[in-house]
Amino acid sequence: MKFSALLALAPLVAAIPGSKQASSDASFSVMSARSASPVHLLPLNAAGSYFWLGGNAQTYSPVEGIPESNQTVITAGHYLDVVVPGGQAIYVDPKGALRFTTPHSAYEPAGSSDGPFAYTPGTSFGHWSYTGQGASGFMACPSSNSTATVRRGRRAAAAPKYQVFAALKNATVPSGNVADCIGFDALAIAANGTTPTWEYI
C-alpha cells in the first residue's frame, strides 16, 4: 500500500479489532509504528543476523533470476522468505535480541526462544508480534553498531540507529539500559507475490 495511506492509518492501529489468524504461509514486510517517536514508520530489516529499524536488508543470491533485495520479507509467522535450502528462522536470543539463523545452519544460542510469534492480518495492514517469555511485542533500542547493514556499498543506506529486541525488561541492550528502548507496533504489510531472495546474510 501507499506510504501516505499507511501514515494516515497508523494512529488507528490500536483501534483495529483482532481478526483471525492468516494462513500460515502469508508473507509480509514490517513497518514500525510509534507515533511521535524517532521510530515511527521505519522498515524492519534483517542484516548481520540481527534486525534493525531503517537501513536496508542485507541479502545475497548466487542464482541468476533470484534477485537480491534491500527489503525484508517474513513468511509463515517466523521465517525469512528465502529460497536457500533449510530456510532461515527468526528467533529471540538469550539477550532478548530478535535474530535470524544464518544460511545452511539451524544454530540458535542455548536459551533462545522460537516464539510464539503471531501474524494477524488486517484490512489495510496486519500485525506481527512476539509474546514469548511474557514479552509484549518488540522494542527498538539505540545502537551504534549496525555496520553490517552498510557493508554492501552498492545499496548503501544510512546506517540504522535502532536494533530490534523483544520487549523484555531483562533484555541486554546495546546502551546497557532497557529504559532507552522504545516499544513499537509491528505493522505487517502483505507481501504476497514478492519473489523471495536467496538468503539474508
Q: Is 68 within 8 Å of 89 (Cβ atoms)?
A: no
Which region among 3-11, 17-25, 82-90, 99-107 touches ligand NAG (by CB under 6 A)?
A: 17-25
Whether residue 116 has a cis bond before it, omega within 30° of 0: yes
Q: Please, which residue, 56 or 129, has the CB nearer to ligand NAG?
A: 56
Which of 38, 103, 115, 121 is the binder for ligand NAG (CB under 6 A)? 121
Instruction: With residue 28 as reference, give the H or E element that holds it.
Output: strand 27-33
Per-residue string for binding with ligand NAG, 167-186, x by CB under 6 A?
A: -x-x---x------------
What's the min distance (Å) between Cβ of 183 and ligand NAG?
Answer: 16
3-state SS of 107-173 is CCCCCCECCCEEEECCCCCEEEEECHHHCCCEEEEECCCCHHHHCCHHHCCCCCCEEEEECCCCCCC
Per rule CB under 6 A, count of chain residues that contact ligand NAG: 21
Report CA 97 to chain centroid distance, whole Å: 11
Segment interacting with ligand NAG (CB under 6 A) among 9-17, 32-40, 166-174, 180-188: 166-174
Minimum Å gap between C-beta 173 and ligand NAG is: 6
Find the length of the chain. 201
Looking at residues 68 to 97 of the shown chain, list those that interact with ligand NAG (rule: CB under 6 A): 70, 94, 97
In the block, which residue shows the cell 532497557?
A: 178
Shortest reach from residue 143's CB to ligand NAG, in Å: 6
Taking alpha carbons only, the member of 3, 155, 157 closest to residue 67 is 155
Which positions touch ligand NAG (CB under 6 A)? 22-23, 25-26, 56, 70, 94, 97, 121, 133-134, 143, 145, 155, 157, 163, 168, 170, 174, 190, 192
